[in-house]
Amino acid sequence: MREITILVLLLFLTHVITENTFEDADEFNKYIETKDRKQRRRDQCRPCCEKGDMGAPGPPGLQGVQGAFGVPGENGNPGTHGTPGVPGAAGPPGLNGGRGEPGPPGFNGETGLQGPPGSPGPSGPPGATGEQGLPGIPGEAGAPGPRGSIGMPNLVASKTLSVPKNPVVVKESVAFTAVRTSDLKGHSGRGSSKDVTYDMAITNIGGYFDHTTGRFTCGVNGTYFFIFHIVHNRDTQVILVKNNDRQVSVHGDAGNNTRESYSNSVVLQLVVGDQVWLKLGGAHHLSSTTERLTSFSGFLLFAEQGTL
């Protein structure tokens, strides 16, 4: 049994060695057949022949032709996930990127609350003087003022003595002069006039003139003389009215910005309660200083017959 095993091994080794030394399969097969015949002969004569020593291995055969590639095997099952690695150290800061493209316009926001009013701005320069407006509608006559006390008898006036038991009748004197010591600005509107008032009355015989309102109220029926004098360095208009009816006026324009003086006068018949005063036209002005450049005067020429 041991000998058969050794013989099989030798055949296997010979086959392996010779498989790699022959150039093709036919040559190898012939070699095997020859080897088999020789082996059969040995087996036939083995009982009577003495076993010889193992011969030396033959030389290696030539390399055989490479066989065809085998069919690829099936894909193996996915392996299990490995253990996460240790996080690496933080790298250095990167360089600043370039400027991006502008974004789309945003939506309009809601209207905010109104802010507080701002401080008033400085006053603008005065506008140019406009044209004179039309006279206003005369107003209603005011109520008669209280009659003043009788003044001292006029030495020039005559005293008339009547028959006994009749009272003595004395002719009453009436006269006034009032002045302004400061400028007077009219209303801004063209159609609105302004009464001229005065800072003081130099003379007020009879007490029928009120310098704070600028009005003379008749207390004695008769004929009166009135005169006024004004000064201004620009366009001005002053009207003398009786119960708000225009009587006489002045209108001047000092275009060269120099002071000009204007005056006018009138004789009027008045009854008790009539009023006479000066009105400043709308958008006009008067100039005056402590030199008393603007004045208004009036006096009784003679009383109406029957009032003495």
- Reading the chain (308 residues) residue by residue, the pLDDT tens digits are 677 777 767 766 665 555 555 666 787 788 788 888 887 777 776 556 556 677 888 888 888 888 888 788 888 888 888 888 888 888 898 888 888 888 888 888 788 788 888 888 787 777 676 666 555 555 565 566 565 544 443 433 333 333 334 333 446 799 999 998 887 776 555 557 788 999 999 999 999 999 999 999 999 999 999 999 988 766 778 999 999 999 999 887 756 666 778 899 999 999 999 999 999 887 676 766 667 888 999 999 999 865 54
Closest CA to 136 of 192, 189, 195: 192
Separation CA 255–CA 262 (nearest Å): 15
Predicted TM-score (pTM) of the model is 0.44
Query: CA dist 183 to 196, 197, 258, Å?
Result: 11, 11, 15
| Cβ contacts of 38 within 8 Å, gap of 6 or more | none
b vs e for 255-292, b when ≥16 Cβ sit within 10 Å of the residue's Cβ?
A: eeeeebebebeeebebebbbbbbbbbbbbbbbbbeeeb
CB atoms within 10 A of CB 1: 5
- Which residues does residue 294 pair with via DSSP β-bridges, in sequence order? 180
